Amino acid sequence: MISKKLYDEILTSISETSLQNAHSRLEEKYPTVSPLTLGSILGNYVQRKMKKTHASHNNSEKITAYYEEYENAVVKKEPPGIIVRMAANAELCPTLMARFVLEGYLRSQQQQRTMRHKESKKDTAESSNTPTRVPPINLMALKSEVSRLIKDTTEIENPNLSYEVHLCTIHDSFYGPLPDAIKNAVGREYEVILEEKLKELKILYIDEQELRKRGYDKTPDFKLELPIGIDGKIVNWVESKATFGDEETHRGYMEDQLISYKNRYGPGLVIYWLGHVDTLDDSSISASGIMIRENMPTNIVHMDTNWEWEDLPSKLSDTRLK
């Protein structure tokens, strides 16, 4: 857990540093904070920044301008890494800039095909007095094709552009196929760690895959077969998050997942393995019925199934579960 003051200081440091050098600078400046935690905070910051600025770049005028800038650099025989440098100048992730340039390239290719089609139909149209129809650009199909080519750059017909886009994907720590694969692998690794801890603590559970087989649409990582008690509170499910929990991140998870879990299964526990900001421990968060931790607690109280009805008052007094 880190203080809100330190967290805000880290964000300020990120905003004052280029994305390419941010992680190493943060490690130098904050040696007492785990590099994994710093990397997660940086990743969350970049993701939000890209979302906020995406609309200002994702329009036909900008995309055309980016593609023309790339083409001019190729004509000037600039060294490889053209799109990576363009991304740095525009303060964009390299793979995101590659998407824009690649979309501009595909638009250009489609326009050339359209012009050839118009020329081939010109004589026929003039003789029949029928105007030539220009097919519109299918934006959904275009963006789908961009996504496909980003995942497999060898499918890009232009060899220079193929190499440039490939360079972007391997020099991008925040966006694209490689970071996504790493995030998925790390997320799965922490789920395995959590599962092992549940076994060590002899906690019975149903995992997410089994819940889906049973027809549940809202599925935490682990639904407990029997509730447990942690710090005087009941826990019915546990969710693993391989990220740093700041207020905005937690709010998003609450809206998208955690509230649904709580409404369906009762109170539960979310684990932010890479730490969280201390403001998530305040009373308003605790009152939501969702406990926040950075590891699986070991001070748990198991439900005792070996008791008689006359023992109920003393059992309730001993466990003090709320």
- Model confidence pLDDT, tens digit, residues 83-117: 999 999 999 999 999 999 999 999 988 877 766 65
Position with higher pLDDT, 277 vs 322: 277
| Predicted confidence (pLDDT) at residue 321 exceeds the cutoff of 50 | no
- Model confidence pLDDT, tens digit, residues 160-187: 999 999 999 999 999 888 899 999 999 9
Per-residue pLDDT, 141: 86
* Residues above pLDDT 70, as percent of the chain: 85
The pTM assigned to this predicted structure is 0.81
Position with higher pLDDT, 321 vs 51: 51
Per-residue pLDDT, 303: 77
- Model confidence pLDDT, tens digit, residues 239-271: 999 999 999 999 999 999 999 999 999 999 999
* Residue 306: pLDDT band with limits 50, 70, 90: low
* Residue 63: pLDDT band with limits 50, 70, 90: very high
Assess contact for 83 and 164: CB atoms under 8 A: yes
- SS3 string, the chain, reads CECHHHHHHHHHHHHCCCHHHHHHHHHHHCCCCCHHHHHHHHHHHHHHHHHHHHHHHCCHHHHHHHHHHHHHHHHCCCCCCHHHHHHHHHCCCHHHHHHHHHHHHHHHHHHHHHHHHHHHHHHHHHHHCCCCCCCCCCHHHHHHHHHHHHHCHHHCCCHHHHHHHHHHHHCCCCCCHHHHHHHHHHHHHHHHHHHHHHHHCCCCEEEHHHHHHCCCCCCCCEEEEEEEEECCEEEEEEEEECCCECHHHHHHHHHHHHHHHHHHHCCEEEEECCCEEHHHHCHHHHCCCEEEECCCCCCEEECCCCCCHHHHHHHHHHHCCC
Position with higher pLDDT, 304 vs 34: 34
Of 27-31, 135-139, 195-199, give the lowest mean pLDDT range.
135-139
* Residue 289: pLDDT band with limits 50, 70, 90: confident
- Model confidence pLDDT, tens digit, residues 130-159: 555 545 567 788 889 999 999 999 999 999
